[in-house]
Amino acid sequence: MDKINPDHYRTGGIETIDFIQAKLTQEQFKGFLAGNVIKYLSRFEHKAGEEDLQKARWYLNRMLLKVRPCIYICSPLRGDVERNIQKAIGYSRYVYSQGGIPLAPHVIFTAFLDDNIPEERAAGINMGLELLTKCDEMWVFGDKVSEGMEKEIGRAKELGLKVNRLNSRLEVVDAHAAKA
């Protein structure tokens, strides 16, 4: 269960936060977000600790959302690496066509790291996890979730990011939390 943005926030076909935003002026909504950041930062040492810090970050990230959100591309690399890189490039194009700014670290890192060398693979995964902290959402592509993808999905959930799962036909399978 996602403690930062639980499923019950989406009851009725719309996320509560999106409903609130639709009902407030832009200035009012920024105030709402800022108030929640202050609330969670002021209580984290006395109530829920890291969970409150993650909630504060979630609201802060909403305040910082760009016109085009940065979307982390989570898709397989191992196996047929060249084919999987081409698929990731296609997924990036899809994210772009949907209004996002795609970030596919495994496409970038394979240009200078060798996925067959364990130390370089680990470095690539760790750098990708660090880049994930700069993203607004994660989109998980494909019908199977690899071990590396599981690590990325786990980190995205820790960060309280929205995670969308899409199948190989680019149909949404799970719009809120990817399951490994």
- Give the tens place of pLDDT for each residue, 121-176: 999 999 999 999 989 899 999 888 998 899 999 999 998 888 999 987 888 887 65
Which two structure tokens, joined as six digits, stand for 135? 């993203």
In this prediction, residue 66 carries a pLDDT of 55
Report the number of distinct structural domains present in the chain. Answer: 2
Report if residue 26 sits inside a domain: yes
Tell me the Cα Rg of the chain.
17
If asked whether residues 80 and 150 sit together in one domain, one would say yes
If asked whether residues 165 and 142 sit together in one domain, one would say yes
Supply the range of the domain harboring residue 144.
70-174
pTM above 0.85, yes or no: no
* Beta-sheet strand order (sheet of 101-103): 101-103, 70-74, 137-141, 162-166, 172-174
Report if residue 114 sits inside a domain: yes
Do 174 and 157 contact (CB within 8 A), yes or no?
no
What are the DSSP calls for 123-163, one per residue?
A: HHHHHHHHHHTT-SEEEEESS---HHHHHHHHHHHHTT-EE
If asked whether residues 134 and 50 sit together in one domain, one would say no
Cα(140)–Cα(149) distance, rounded to whole angstroms? 8
pLDDT band at 39 (very low <50, low <70, confident <90, very high): very high
If asked whether residues 74 and 148 sit together in one domain, one would say yes
If asked whether residues 142 and 55 sit together in one domain, one would say no
31 dihedral zone (left: phi>0; alpha: psi -120 to 50; beta): alpha
Report if residue 180 sits inside a domain: no
CATH code for the domain of 114: 3.40.50.450
Could you read off the pLDDT of 84-129 as tens digits, one per residue? 999 999 999 999 998 899 999 999 999 999 988 999 999 999 999 9
If asked whether residues 59 and 108 sit together in one domain, one would say no
If asked whether residues 59 and 79 sit together in one domain, one would say no
In this prediction, residue 88 carries a pLDDT of 95
In this prediction, residue 143 carries a pLDDT of 83
Do 88 and 73 contact (CB within 8 A), yes or no?
yes
Cα angle value 157/162/166 (rounded, 5°): 100
In this prediction, residue 170 carries a pLDDT of 85
In this prediction, residue 177 carries a pLDDT of 46
Cα(63)–Cα(56) distance, rounded to whole angstroms? 11
In this prediction, residue 19 carries a pLDDT of 85
Higher pLDDT, residue 132 or 65: 132
